[in-house]
Structure 1
Amino acid sequence: MLDELLTPEQRLEALGLELPTVPSAVGDYEPWVEANGIIYTSGQLPWIDGDMKYTGKLGDVLTTEDGYQSFRISALNAIAQLKSAVGELSRIKRVIRLEGSVQATPDFTEQPQALNGASHLINEVFGGRGRHSRMIFTDPGMCLDCTTLVVLWAQVEQ
């Protein structure tokens, strides 16, 4: 476990990760909205430099490990959105909720293990402030054929 005294940016560096360029909206909406000290991100996909890294359904050609990695990328994009909202990630007082959606076959049942890719990253980056509630949704067809989507709710220090 990383030192609790490190900032989230220092934790990212220690993990060998760099926040991606903030993805732009793919429709008529805001990438994030702040209301009453809570940041709500829009759904973040597994983009890296404009390339969708994971497409298709878990339980078909894709494995639970593929889902884990796809959720990790989606979460990294959601963290980048938080940073664009608040400037410094140390302003995040608490990650409140993680919601994940996964494109999967009807008989796929390992959604929670796949969503751990996002949960583990959030907890590594934010330490105790990253401990969150979560929900996962399964969809037989996702936008742009993406495999995963992540939404974060985070409380901001005022």
Structure 2
Amino acid sequence: MKLKEVTSGTPEERLAELGLDLPPVPEAVADYVTHTQIGPIIYTSGMLPWIAGDLKFKGKMGAELTVEQGYEAFQLSALNGLSLLRSITGDLGKIKRIHRLEGTGGATPDFFDMPIALNGASHLINTVFGEKGAHSRMIYSNPSMPIDCATLLVFWAEV
């Protein structure tokens, strides 16, 4: 499930080499903002696995979804985060560092592969940003997710 290795180019060029397009910038779905910024650190709200409001992964890992589908859902959540970060900075090359990812996945009580699923986001970030993408992370498992989404991902990024 690891992405192919890409070692040169800008973050946008690396995405293109991977054959990945950024989805439209996600909008808030309730009474909150999509991000806040304190000094050089951008904190995003939870990024879901959707494209233009169409939720692509619903349900729980361990029931309706496999770990592979969880990996894809976290990767799509990460692409939404990158789309938001690009809209804020104008260029992903302005990101100095991705400091942290916090992932929450919908899962059954007996699903223990959440770290493997979250690798969908980590592999993407590490590939796109190289050493600037080396991040800490936290994974949460939840039996009930907002709007039945499979994954939710929060970024802490430095500009």
Per the TM superposition, whether the score is higher than 0.5 is yes
2:156 — aligned with what?
Answer: 153
* Unpaired runs of at least 5, structure 1: none
CA distance in 2, matches of 1:55, 1:138: 15
1:52 — aligned with what?
Answer: 55
Work out which of the residue numbers 2, 5, 14 in structure 1 matches 2:6.
2
Work out which of the residue numbers 137, 141, 144 in structure 1 matches 2:147.
144
What is the letter of the counterpart of residue 20 of structure 1? P
What is the letter of the counterpart of residue 71 of structure 1? F
Greater CA drift, 17-26 or 96-105: 17-26
2:93 — aligned with what?
Answer: 90
Deviations 1:3-38 (A, max 9, x none): 24x110111111111111101100111111111100
1:64 maps to 2:67: yes
Q: How far did 1:49 drift?
A: 2.6
2:28 — aligned with what?
Answer: 25
Work out which of the residue numbers 106, 114, 118 in structure 1 matches 2:117.
114
Q: How far did 1:103 drift?
A: 0.4
Structure 1 contact 45–148 (Cα < 8 Å) conserved: yes
CA distance in 2, matches of 1:15, 1:107: 33
TM-score between both structures, scaled by the size of structure 2:
0.95
* Unpaired runs of at least 5, structure 2: none
Structure 1 contact 39–85 (Cα < 8 Å) conserved: no
Count of residue correspondences: 155
TM-score between both structures, scaled by the size of structure 1:
0.96
What is the letter of the counterpart of residue 79 of structure 1? L
CA RMSD of aligned residues (A): 0.8
1:11 maps to 2:14: yes
Q: How far did 1:50 drift?
A: 1.9
Q: How far did 1:61 drift?
A: 2.0
